[in-house]
Amino acid sequence: MISGRGSMPQPGCSTLLLNGHLMDLSTPQVMGILNVTPDSFFSGCRVQAEADITARAQQILDEGATIIDIGAYSSRPNAEHITADEEMRRLRTGLEIINRNHPDAIISVDTFRADVATMCVEEYGVTIINDIAAGEMDSRMFETVARLKVPYIMMHMQGTPQNMQAEPHYDDLIKEVFLYFARKVQQLRDLGASDIILDPGFGFGKTVEHNYELMAHLEEFAIFELPLLVGVSRKSMITRLLGITPQEALNGTTVLNTISLLKGAHIIRVHDVKEAVETVRIVSKIINPHLL
Enumerate the active-site residues: 235, 269
- For residue 118, give every residue at least 6 positions away whose Cβ sits within 8 Å of its Cβ, in sequence order, or none: 144, 148
Buried-exposed string 79-109: b where 16+ CB fall within 10 A, e elsewhere = beebeeeebbebbbbbbebbbeebeebbbbb
Q: Can you tell me the distance from the alpha carbon of 94 to that of 79, in angstroms, rounded to the nearest whole number?
A: 20
Name beta bridge partners: 32.
68, 270
d(CA 145, CA 108): 13
CA distance 23 to 21: 7
Backbone angles phi, psi at 269, to 5 degrees: -100, 120
User: Distance between CA 6 and CA 63 in Å, rounded?
Assistant: 27
Going from the C-alpha of 27 to that of each of 20, 31, 153, the distances in angstroms are 20, 13, 18
Instruction: Judge residue 217's burial from the number of C-beta atoms within 10 Å of its C-beta, 0-12 exposed, 13-18 middle, 19 or more buried.
Output: middle
